[in-house]
Structure 1
Amino acid sequence: MGCIFWLLATPFHQEKKKVTLLMAAALLEGASIGPLVELAIEFDPSILVSAFVGCSLAFGCFSGAAMVARRREYLYLGGLLSSGLSILLWLHFASSIFGGSMALFKFELYFGLLVFVGYIVVDTQDIIEKAHLGDLDYVNHSLTLFTDFVAVFVRVLIIMLKNASEKEEKKKKKRRN
């Protein structure tokens, strides 16, 4: 978070510093999801590749849809998505305090995926609109889209790992019987 705030506070003309901070933020983000990636590799490496390809396709499709849509058509969704993010935050706090259930976990997972896919569309249109108004700070815009991509990737990877784990459990049950 420190690298991200430092990046956002750095002036536009210090381009090398901003790119360095973006790379540091990406490195630290990668380190934070490293254990999840390691789990996926240990379980089945093809899940990691499938999650990355699926996430990349979704990112490309939703970003492309935002690019070809009429100007500012999806920006109004930002308020709804922010409300959805707030709901996710409060649900996470509630499940931490009161103990979570599997149903609540699944809701957070799928609802979070929906929210962050929506953010891909809104952030792409927001970047296009800012560019029309003269804000050409591509480093900050890259950070925004990178954050969206990672949020979607993590959720897709968790869903795929959970599904593969459930299939494995079913196979083990059949073998026992």
Structure 2
Amino acid sequence: MDAFTSFFDSQSASASRNSWGSDSLKNFRQISPIVQTHLKQVYLSLCCALIASAVGAYLHILWNIGGLLTSIGCMGSIFWLLSTPPYEEQKRVSLLMAAAVFEGASIGPLIELAVNFDPSILVSAFVGSAIAFGCFSAAAMLAKRREYLYLGGLLSSGLSILFWLHFASSIFGGSAAIFKFELYFGLLVFVGYMVVDTQDIIEKAHHGDLDYVKHALTLFTDFVAVFVRILIIMLKNASEKEDKKKKRRN
């Protein structure tokens, strides 16, 4: 946790030094026109994937299709996309949209729960995720090149911790404290991935890797991971407040 704290401290310190002024703009100018065009394609594809994911969630609400099969379909579409050569652009874009629809249907039960409980929670969670994504992506773009890439190994270790915690909880049973730790620690990890993956995409583009479909998929998985955790946290807090109100009435 100290490492993550130092990461955000260093980020805020860097922001205070540059004050989003001339130094930040100079860093942004280090991104070549080709890379800027690539980033536009990446974020446009990401927006389309998010729309497709919303369609998948809506389909679940209509027909209750979300579950194990849609999760398998999402993973299958992702593996198919990654194994398809880059020159088959149209096919890969279609696979990205298919993966997004399946992912939206897979998290459909959670979204349906939020809609039934309080639709404003769903809107707040999405807006909060979008703001966090925009801010941390901008921070990664305005920072010095490769400044945050060293965090990749640390975040991978954090992801491994989450995996083994989840695995142990599924076998030996979990507790509310472990679940809460997984939730907040996972949110911190994937917010970190937003920064690292954005800088990694920029760095790869500078070296000629202009695979915008794969890069959009990377950012899409980051966004969904953050959105799901924010939504669960907000639902949990709202449910606890509702329970307290009921106890007071009784």
Find the structure with the greater CA-based Rg: 2
Give the counterpart letter for 2:237 in structure 1.
N
Q: Give aligned-pair identity as a percent.
A: 83
- Corresponding residue for residue 101 of structure 2: 27
- Corresponding residue for residue 139 of structure 2: 65
Q: Aligned partners of 2:233, 2:189: CA distance in 1, in Å?
A: 15
Give the counterpart letter for 1:46 in structure 2.
S
- Corresponding residue for residue 189 of structure 2: 115
Equivalences for residues 1-177 of structure 1 within 5 A: 1-176=75-250
- What are the superposed Cα offsets for residues 98-129 of structure 1, whole Å, 9 maximum, x if unpaired? 11000000000000000000000000000000
* CA apart distance, 1:52: 0.2
Q: How many residues align?
A: 176
* CA apart distance, 1:12: 0.9
* CA apart distance, 1:158: 0.1
Which TM-score applies when normalising by structure 1?
A: 0.99
Give the counterpart letter for 1:45 in structure 2.
P
After the TM superposition, list the runs of 4 or more consecutive aligned residues in structure 1 that deviate by more than 4 angstroms: none
Which TM-score applies when normalising by structure 2?
A: 0.70
Q: Aligned Cα RMSD in Å?
A: 0.4
Q: Aligned partners of 1:105, 1:51: CA distance in 2, in Å?
A: 19
- What are the superposed Cα offsets for residues 71-97 of structure 1, whole Å, 9 maximum, x if unpaired? 000000000000000000000011111
Give the counterpart letter for 1:165 in structure 2.
S
Structure 2 unaligned spans of 5+: 1-74
